[in-house]
Amino acid sequence: MPLFDATPTNYREVMEIARGGMGSVSLVVRDHGHFERLYARKRLHESSRDDDAMRSMFLDEARIAGLIRHPNVVSVTDVGEDDEGPYLVMDYVDGVSLSRFIQRIRKAGREMPLATALEIVRQIAAGLQAAHELTDPSGERLQVIHRDVSPQNVLLGFDGYARLTDFGIAKALGRSSKTQTGMLKGKFGYMAPEVLRFEDPVPQSDLFSLGVVLYEALTCERLYPSSEGPAAARAILNDPPPDVADAVGDAPDALVELMFSLLAKDPKHRPASAGEVEATLRRILGEVTEDVPPPPLARLLEELCGDERRERAAAIEAARNAKPAGSKRGAWVAAGVAAVALIGAGVAFALVDTTPDAEPVAPPPIAASPEPVEEPEPVVEPDLGVPEETTAEPSTMRRRRPRRRASMNEAIAPMWDWQ
């Protein structure tokens, strides 16, 4: 039985840009007279189209993301079903993922400007609040929990907006698909302690993940590397959260306290809402930028990732101009070359499949001195062999303040002095 009314699609496929365990994502163009617009379209794999659980999860994603209208969330703009099965159409984001942005900063040998990290996570907190307070058409709260807040699911647009994406495993009351007992969903290094204990997630579970993302944005380092396996799970469950001031010397006290709160083991000791986190980050931003305005996010992205943006534009143009008529093989070769260039540029699109086994289509050969690659997220076994969690909350611990790192001027100015 179709999920949606079968109607002819009016989207012209440009190229496939990502493929994962659940489905694939293509860049498509919607043509209407002289008006054209790019979108990202997600489909289930052919082998999953008749799987009731997969189709149900796919429909959940459409229901949840399709209701959210917020500048810091990538929304579903259309759903449908054709001869190739059901599909979701999402906003296309001209930008890169936060994980890619961090890679570029590290490659440049620079630090993330404090204000930039705070502004990115502030915007994501705002988008997360929009999801948490989402209501259905009757006004009933849906109680949406994202469950996969991570740098891979944060898209940074060249327009200066940070957007939360991929609600594929989001949890909401009344959803049609159910989580199987004994299964963990999400990225291992960003899961809250209660999720690792197979307890039902709550909105504060997303806030724990947001705290891990904030730490990574501030330091450009993973807090709980997935390569450590069960040891990382034990750290999440038992180790006190790190004092961010040890890694970020100019971290204000309010930021240190916020980090301790976000990473608290007990969800009751975390902030009451994502909106509260957003307000706190806004106040901290006002403090750290009082004397030195931060560089706009759009400008910083252009400085660090502008080359990728230009490569992307050329790749998309090549694929769009490839005409199957007359020389079908040549057209597909041109589209394939464009796809390789696009993936090689580290481009982020809305709704790229971010499941652990997701991989780009036709990846380019590995060049000498490759950029750091993101660690694969391992499958988490139910029995982690972890001891009981500690009961002391980290906010009661003493903090060591290190020597201050470079001032805001010193940290930001070099970003604009490249040759």
| 363: Cβ contacts below 8 Å, ≥ 6 apart | 340, 343, 344
Give the residue carrying structure tokens 């260039």. Answer: 341
Q: Which residues neighbour 75 within 8 Å (Cβ) at sequence distance 6 or greater?
A: 65, 66, 68, 69, 90, 91
CA 153 to chain centre: 1
CATH number, domain 95-295+379-412: 1.10.510.10
CB atoms near residue 232 (< 10 Å): 23
Q: What contacts 277, CB < 8 A, 6 or more positions away?
A: 125, 207, 210, 258, 262, 271
pTM of the entire predicted model: 0.76
Q: Are strands 23-32 and 85-91 parallel, antiparallel or unpaired?
A: unpaired
The DSSP output letter for 158 is T
CA distances from 280 to 126, 255, 273 (A): 11, 8, 11
State CA 233 to chain mean position distance. Answer: 21
SS3 54: helix
Both structure tokens of 162:
């940070």
Residue 40 is classified by DSSP as E
Rounded to whole angstroms, the Cα distance separating 111 from 105 reads 7
Specify the 3-state DSSP secondary structure of 251. coil
**26 C-beta neighbours (distance < 10 Å), count:** 21
Are 57 and 9 contacting, i.e. CB atoms less than 8 angstroms apart? no
d(CA 66, CA 77): 7
State both tokens at 265: 């083991």
Domain boundaries, the chain: 95-295+379-412
Q: Which amino acid is at 254?
A: A
Closest C-alpha among 184, 179, 150 to residue 166: 150
In tens digits, what is the pLDDT along the chain, a chain of 419 residues? 566 555 555 788 898 877 777 788 889 998 766 677 899 999 988 888 888 878 877 877 777 888 899 999 998 888 888 888 888 899 999 999 999 999 999 999 999 999 999 999 999 999 999 999 999 888 888 889 999 999 999 999 999 999 998 887 676 654 544 444 445 555 789 999 999 999 999 999 999 999 999 999 999 999 998 776 788 889 999 999 999 999 998 899 999 999 999 999 999 999 999 999 999 999 999 999 887 777 789 999 999 999 999 998 898 889 888 755 444 444 444 444 444 444 444 444 433 333 333 333 333 332 333 333 444 444 344 344 444 444 344 444 434 444 344 433 333 332 222 22
